[in-house]
């Protein structure tokens, strides 16, 4: 593995730890990154709790989500989320699937998530909700077939994130820092919006970011400074455990 590839695998292990630290993924949920050497492949941890992931747990997949070198390691059942989104979105290089608790209420109601503060301005680009029943009835809500992965990717369309009714969310980005940063701030924003709605009361006014403010904020928002801090802290925790 060349140096770039090695760094990408380390970053993916680190991304698992960061998302676990911030309560975005717990024992479940996962994050993947597209290969920097072959855009038709991606990396994803084997089926273990994200907080325990190390570089040795990272597996490589093709875009049909078939593991290339499983060596007896168990794949996560919902890996099709990742492969099917990478097929539809060539500019996306990182995907997070989570059960982020504060976003769940917005996936089961008609109350939309809104761009309420600048760190989560991407919400203003639209966050659709995936209704799995529209694709298949009577499921356990898990996206564990290529067909369901394709349906989810269609709902996501060109947006930065989609909610999954009664389940969680999927968040994408051009790189890991963006997908991880968006996931953390989506959780924070959902919590803050619920607080703002409670303070405002029924029919009360909330002033959200407008379209021009969203446009001005989304492009430069790459979470670079936060990523460097999150990464350093996660690596320090990993070294303590090893
Ligand atoms: Zn899930």
149-197 pLDDT, tens digit per residue, is: 999 999 999 999 999 999 999 999 999 999 999 999 999 999 999 999 9
What tokens were used for 7? 């760094």
Distance from the alpha carbon of residue 50 to the mean position of ligand 1, in angstroms: 13
Cβ–Cβ under 8 Å, residues 81 and 144: no
pLDDT band at 21, cuts 50/70/90? very high
- Sort strands 168-173 and 94-98 into parallel, antiparallel or unpaired: antiparallel
Model's pTM, two decimal places?
0.95
Distance from the alpha carbon of residue 97 to the mean position of ligand 1, in angstroms: 6
Taking the CB of residue 76, how many other CB atoms lie within 10 A of it?
21
Distance from the alpha carbon of residue 199 to the mean position of ligand 1, in angstroms: 31
Distance from the alpha carbon of residue 45 to the mean position of ligand 1, in angstroms: 14
Query: Residue 233 pLDDT more than 70?
Result: yes
Based on the residue annotation, tell me whether 78 is a catalytic residue of this protein. Answer: yes
Cβ–Cβ under 8 Å, residues 89 and 154: no
Query: Residue 20 pLDDT more than 50?
Result: yes
The 3 state secondary structure assigned to 173-192 is ECCHHHHHHHHHHHHHHHHH
User: Considering 10, 21, 60, 78, which one is annotated as catalytic?
Assistant: 78
Side-by-side strand order, sheet with 168-173: 58-62, 41-45, 30-34, 94-98, 168-173, 161-164, 129-130
Euclidean distance between CA atoms 203 and 183, whole angstroms: 28
């Amino acid at each position: 593995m060349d140096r770039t590839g090695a760094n990408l695998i380390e970053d993916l292990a680190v991304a698992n730890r960061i998302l676990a630290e911030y309560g975005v993924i717990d024992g479940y949920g996962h994050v993947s990154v597209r290969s920097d050497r072959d855009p038709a492949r991606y990396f994803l941890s084997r089926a273990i709790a994200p907080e325990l992931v190390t570089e040795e747990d990272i597996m490589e997949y093709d875009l049909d989500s078939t593991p290339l070198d499983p060596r007896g390691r168990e794949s996560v059942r919902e890996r099709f989320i990742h492969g099917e989104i990478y097929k539809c979105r060539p500019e996306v290089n990182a995907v997070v699937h989570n059960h982020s608790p504060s976003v769940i209420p917005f996936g089961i109601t008609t109350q939309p998530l809104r761009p309420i503060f600048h760190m989560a301005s991407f919400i203003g680009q639209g966050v659709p909700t995936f209704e799995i029943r529209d694709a298949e009835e009577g499921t356990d809500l898990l996206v564990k077939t290529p067909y369901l992965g394709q349906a989810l990717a269609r709902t996501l369309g060109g947006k930065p994130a989609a909610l999954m009714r009664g389940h969680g969310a999927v968040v994408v980005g051009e790189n890991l820092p963006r997908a991880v940063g968006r996931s953390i701030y989506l959780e924070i924003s959902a919590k803050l919006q619920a607080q703002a709605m409670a303070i405002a009361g029924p029919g009360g006014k909330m002033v959200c970011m407008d379209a021009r403010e969203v446009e001005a904020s989304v492009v430069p928002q790459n979470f670079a400074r936060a990523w460097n801090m999150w990464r350093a802290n996660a690596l320090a925790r990993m070294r303590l455990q090893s």
